[in-house]
Amino acid sequence: MAESEHEMIARLLAPLSRWLPGAFALTDDAAALRPPEGCEFVVTMDTLIDGVHFRFDGTPPSAAMAARKALAVNVSDLAAKGAEPFAYLLSLALPAGHGDWLDGFVSGLAAAQDDFGLKLAGGDTVRTNGAFAITITAFGIVPNGRMIRRSSARPGDILIVSGTIGDAFAGLALDRGDSQTSDWSGQLDDSGRKSLLARNRTPTPRVQLIPALRQFATASLDVSDGLAIDASRLAAASGVGIEIDASSVPLSAACDTLRTAGKLRLEQLMTGGDDYEVLATLAPESEAGFRQAAAQAGVRVTRIGRTVMGAGLAVRDSADKLMELDRLGWDHLS
Amino acid sequence: MAESEHEMIARLLAPLSRWLPGAFALTDDAAALRPPEGCEFVVTMDTLIDGVHFRFDGTPPSAAMAARKALAVNVSDLAAKGAEPFAYLLSLALPAGHGDWLDGFVSGLAAAQDDFGLKLAGGDTVRTNGAFAITITAFGIVPNGRMIRRSSARPGDILIVSGTIGDAFAGLALDRGDSQTSDWSGQLDDSGRKSLLARNRTPTPRVQLIPALRQFATASLDVSDGLAIDASRLAAASGVGIEIDASSVPLSAACDTLRTAGKLRLEQLMTGGDDYEVLATLAPESEAGFRQAAAQAGVRVTRIGRTVMGAGLAVRDSADKLMELDRLGWDHLS
C-alpha cells in the first residue's frame, strides 16, 4: 500500500519526539505527559496563519522560518512565566498541493526545538480550504505554584525589559518593502538590515533568562503586542500604575540609527509588537542580583521604569514630559 | 476605552474556566495544570475546519454545534485512552465579520464541557484570512503509565465496539442532501432522520465507558476514520491480525432500515468514519466483567470479532466469505 499523507507526515515528524517516552514515537492517538515530582505544567497555545503572522512563499526556507516562529512565540510565553520548555503539540492545517517544503518545515522545527529545549509530543494534521496555519500547544515546567503571574507586581517595583524593542516592527516594514522603507537604505548597512528582518521572521524566546526570572521577578509577561500595551496589561492585572522612561527603552544600533535619522519614531517602536522580549517587575533590592544572573545568562536587560500606586501607563520623554501615544499596540485580533 | 475583540472573547469565555484555579480566569498568558498525585496527563489535539469538518452557516445554533463537535472529537480520544477528561485549551481562527454567533458558540461549548466533564484552561484567538477553524488541546488524567495504548492487543483477544457504526456516515449524506439521499425519505421517519443527522453533527464521546476500559481493555482507540481502517491500525500497532464478523457490526435501527432497503451497503457504514465509538480488545475471560461494567455505564457494547496471530484485517460476511473492501476509511488528510 502506498504511503498516505498522514503516514508521510508522521514519518517526517516522528524523529522530533525522540527521547520523550510519553510521545510513543507519535504512533498512538495521544501522549502521556507527567511533570517531575513537585512540579506542574505551564501550558500555552498560539496559532499562526500564513499571510497574517508569517509569510509563506512555498519554499523550504520559508517553511522553516514559519516553523521556528510558531515554536518561538509559544516558548516566549513559557519563558516569561518562568517555565522550562518541555514538550509541545503541533497541529498543521495544510492547503492542497503542499509537499516539497514539508522537509524544510520539519528541519526548521527540529533546529528550533533543539535551540529552545523541548520535544514534539503529538498533534494533528488536517486539510484546509483556507490558509496554511500552525497551532502549537507548549508545555513548560515550574515548581508547584511558581508560575510567574502578570498580576503580582507591587507598587515600588522596578520595570525591566530584555533585549531591544522595535526591531521586529522595523523588520516587518522592511519585509513588506513599501515606499516608507525604500529610503532607509542610506541609513542601514547590510548587517543592520538583515538583523531587523531576522528579528521579525525568527524571533528568539528568552529561555536563558528563566532562572533569573524565577529567582527575582515579582511579575512578568512577554512583549508580543507592543511594549506599551503589554506594560499596561501588566499594570491592570497587578492593580498598579506603570511609568516608563521612553529615553531608556533599549534600541538596537539599527533601530537607533533609523530613529535618529527621523525614519522611525520611538512611539512606533514601543507599540509595534512582535518583540518577544520579557517585561518583568522586580523589588528594587533584587536589581543587582537580577542583573548579575542575566549577565551570566548572556541576556541584555534594561531598567525602563517603575510601578507606582495607581493605575494605567504613563510614558515620559527625555524632557520628563508625558508622551501621548495614539495607540498602545495590537489589541484587535491578529 | 471600548472593549476590544480580545477582551470581548475573553469575557465570554472566562466563565468556562470557573472551578479550574490554574486557568487564572483566562487573565494570564498561560495556565498552570497539575495531575493528581500518582497520575499523569493524556493529551490530544484536533483541529476542525469549517467546510471540511463541520458546516457553519453563520447562525448561533450552527456555531454551538461546531463547538460541541470540536470538543467531542478530542474527548473521544481521551475516553478511548482511558483518561478522565480534565481541561482543554481552545484556539479560534476567526474570519472578519464574526460576532452575532459568538454567544451561540460559547453556549454550545459550555453545555458540551459540562456533559463531558472538563473545563477551559486557556488558548488563543486570531484573525484568519481563511476559514473559521477550531483547534482544541484536551487534557485527561490516568494513573501513571496506564494510558490504554493501541499497540497492546494480544492474539486471542476479543474485539468490542461501543454504540452503533455508520450513523455519522449516513447523517453526513443526509446533511449534504444530495440526489442519493432524496429517495431515502420513504424509508426513514422523522426521528430516524434526526438521529442520523445528530450523530454526524454532534457526536457523543463515550466517557461513561472509561472505568470499564481501564479495568478490562488490553488495547483501545476511537473509531474516527472508519471502523475498518481504525481496526487495521490497531492490528498493525499491536502486531496482530484482526478478524471482524460483518454481520455482528452493530447498526442503529435507521441504518439497518437503509441497509435492508438497499440504500446503503454495510461496507459503506464500516468505512465511513466520524463514528466516535470506542474499539477495544479484551482477554476473553474479561468479557463478562466488561459487559457488566458497560451495562452499568449505560453504554451498548458489541463483540464484533477477534485478534489472531498474524497481520492485517479480514472482514467476513454472514456466509463466512471474505469481503473485499474497496477502501478501509479515511487515510488521506481531512
Sorting pLDDT into bands at 50, 70 and 90, what band is A100? confident
Of B27, B41, B137, the CB nearest to A151: B27
Of A91, A129, A149, the CB nearest to B28: A149
pLDDT score of B98: 61
What cell was used for A250?
533599549
Rounded to an integer, the average pLDDT of A80-101 is 91
What cell was used for A48?
499562526
Q: Taken in order B44, B49, B51, B56, is the CA torsion positive or negative?
A: positive
pLDDT score of A333: 67
- Give the three-class secondary structure for A70: helix
What cell was used for B122?
486557556
CATH 3.40.50.1000 fits B5-143, yes or no: no
Kind of pairing, strands B312-316 and B241-245? parallel
CB atoms within 10 A of CB B213: 26
B30/A81 CB distance under 8 A? yes
Return d(Cα A225, Cα A332) in angstroms, integer: 10
Of B5, B53, B128, the CB nearest to A130: B128
A127/B33 CB distance under 8 A? no
φ, ψ dihedrals at B13, nearest 5° = -85, -25
Return d(Cα A319, Cα A312) in angstroms, integer: 21
B137/A81 CB distance under 8 A? no
Of B6, B129, B144, the CB nearest to A331: B6
Reply yes or no on whether the pLDDT at A303 is more than 90.
Answer: yes
Return d(Cα B333, Cα A97) in angstroms, integer: 12
User: What distance in Å separates residue B44's CA from the closest CA in chain A?
Assistant: 5
A147/B89 CB distance under 8 A? no
What is the 8-class DSSP label of residue A153?
A: -
Query: Do B316 and B245 meet the contact criterion of CB atoms below 8 Å apart?
Result: yes
B29/A126 CB distance under 8 A? no
What are the domain boundaries of chain B? Answer: 5-143, 158-316
Return d(Cα B48, Cα B118) in angstroms, integer: 19
Walk along chain B (334 residues) and give the pLDDT tens digit of each residue.
Answer: 457 777 788 889 999 999 999 999 999 999 999 999 999 999 999 999 999 899 999 999 999 999 999 999 999 999 999 999 999 999 999 988 766 789 999 999 999 999 999 999 999 999 898 889 999 999 999 999 999 999 999 999 999 999 999 999 999 999 888 777 888 878 899 999 999 999 999 999 999 999 999 999 999 999 999 999 999 999 999 999 999 999 999 999 999 999 999 999 999 999 999 999 999 999 999 999 999 999 999 999 999 999 999 999 999 998 999 998 888 877 766 6
Contacts of B49 in chain A (CB under 8 A): 93, 126-130
Contacts of B42 in chain A (CB under 8 A): 30-32
User: What distance in Å separates residue A127's CA from the closest CA in chain B?
Assistant: 5
pLDDT in tens, B74-119: 999 999 999 999 999 999 999 887 667 899 999 999 999 999 999 9
Q: H or E segment at B167? A: helix B167-176
B144/A28 CB distance under 8 A? no
What cell was used for A155?
507598587
User: What distance in Å separates residue A162's CA from the closest CA in chain B?
Assistant: 18
How remote is the C-alpha of A287 from its chain's centroid?
24
Rounded to an integer, the average pLDDT of A289-294 is 98
CB pairs under 8 A between A and B: 214
Complex-level ipTM: 0.95
CB atoms within 10 A of CB B51: 14
Return d(Cα B288, Cα A209) in angstroms, integer: 57
A4/B127 CB distance under 8 A? no
Cα Rg of chain B, angstroms: 21
pLDDT score of B130: 85
Reply yes or no on whether the pLDDT at A201 is more than 60.
Answer: yes
What cell was used for B103?
454567544
Contacts of A311 in chain B (CB under 8 A): none
pLDDT score of B192: 93
Q: What topology does CATH give the domain A158-316?
A: Phosphoribosyl-aminoimidazole Synthetase; Chain A, domain 2 (3.90.650)
pLDDT score of A27: 93
Q: Report the residue of A42, A333, A334 to disrupt the B interface, i.e. the one with the largest count of B CBs within 10 Å.
A: A333
Reply yes or no on whether the pLDDT at A98 is more than 70.
Answer: no
- Give the three-class secondary structure for A304: strand
Residues near A101 by beta carbon (within 8 Å), at least 6 away in sequence: A58, A59, A60, A62, A63
Of A29, A35, A126, the CB nearest to B334: A126
Query: Do A242 and A306 meet the contact criterion of CB atoms below 8 Å apart?
Result: yes
